[in-house]
Amino acid sequence: MTKIALINCYFGKSWPSYFSHFLFSCKYNPDVDFILFTNLEAPFHIPNVHFVHIKDLTEFSALASKKLNLNINILDGYKLCDFKPTYGLIFQEYLKNYDFWGYCDIDIVFGNIRYFMTEKILQKYDVISPHKNYPAGFFTLLKNNEQCINLFKQSKDYARILENSRHFCFDECNFEFNRVHTTDITQINTEIESFTLVLRRLELQKEIKYYHKPIVQEFTYTDVVHHWVEGNIFNSITEKQYLLIHLINVKDNQFFFIDPFENKAKFSISPKGIHYKFSQYSHTLKKIKSRINENIRQTNYRFLLLKSKLLSYTQKEHVNFLEEQSYKIGKTHITFYPQDKNKLVIINEADYTLHYNQFSLYKIKDNKWIGISKKAISTIDFHYKNEEDIPYKISINNIQKRINENAYYIY
CATH code linked to domain 4-215:
3.90.550
Point out which residues pair with 242 in neighbouring strands.
233
For residue 155, give the nearest of 173, 138, 140 by alpha carbon: 173
Beta-bridge partner residues of 294: none
pLDDT for the residue numbered 78: 94
pLDDT at residue number 398:
79
**Distances in whole angstroms, Cα of residue 188 to Cα of each of 176, 191, 197, 201, 252:** 8, 10, 9, 12, 31
Contacts of 95 (CB under 8 A, 6+ apart): 5, 88, 101, 144
Instruction: List the pLDDT tens digit at each of the 411 positions of the chain.
Output: 999 999 999 999 999 999 999 999 999 999 999 999 999 999 999 999 999 999 999 999 999 999 999 999 999 999 999 999 999 999 999 999 999 999 999 999 999 999 999 999 999 999 999 998 999 999 999 999 999 999 999 999 999 999 999 999 999 999 998 899 889 999 999 999 999 999 999 999 999 999 999 999 876 556 788 999 999 998 887 778 899 999 988 888 888 899 999 999 899 998 889 999 764 444 544 544 454 455 444 444 444 444 434 433 344 444 554 456 777 776 677 777 766 656 777 777 654 455 667 777 777 777 788 888 777 788 888 887 765 667 778 888 877 666 677 777 765
Tell me the HSE value of 250 on the side-chain side, using a 13 A CA sphere: 23
Enumerate the CATH 3.90.550 domain ranges in the chain, comma separated. Answer: 4-215
CA dihedral 329, 347, 291, 228 (to 10 degrees): -170
Q: Are strands 325-329 and 393-398 parallel, antiparallel or unpaired?
A: unpaired
Task: Report pLDDT for 111.
Answer: 96
Bridge partners of 65? Answer: none
Residues of the chain with CATH 2.40.128.50: 309-409
Is residue 85 a contact partner of residue 195, using CB atoms and an 8 Å limit?
A: yes
Q: How would you write the chain as a 3-class SS string?
A: CCCEEEEEEECCCCCCCCHHHHHHHHHCCCCCEEEEEECCCCCCCCCCEEEEECCCHHHHHHHHHHHHCCCCCCCCHHHHHHHHHHHHHHCHHHCCCCCEEEEECCCEEECCHHHHCCHHHHHHCCEEECCCCCCCCCEEEEECCHHHHCHHHHCCCHHHHHHCCCCCCCCCCCCCCCHHHCCCHHHCCCCCCCHHHHHHHHHHCCCCCEEECCCCEECCCCCCCEEEECCEEEECCCCCEECEEECCCCCCCCCCEECCCCCCCEEEEECCEEECCCCHHHHHHHHHHHHHHHHHHHCHHHHHHHHHHCHHHCECCCCCCCCCEEEEECCEEEEEEEEECCEEEEEEEECCEEEEEEEEEEEEECCEEEEECCCCEEEEEEECCCCCCCCCEEEEEECCCCEEEEEEECC
**Topology given in CATH for the domain delimited by 309-409:** Lipocalin (2.40.128)
Q: Residue 221 and residue 94: Cα distance in Å, rounded?
A: 39
CA distance 217 to 215: 7
Provide the whole-model pTM: 0.74
Q: Which residues pair with 245 in a beta bridge?
A: 109, 217
Q: How far apart are CA 173 and CA 25, in angstroms?
A: 28
Residue 301 is predicted with a pLDDT of 40
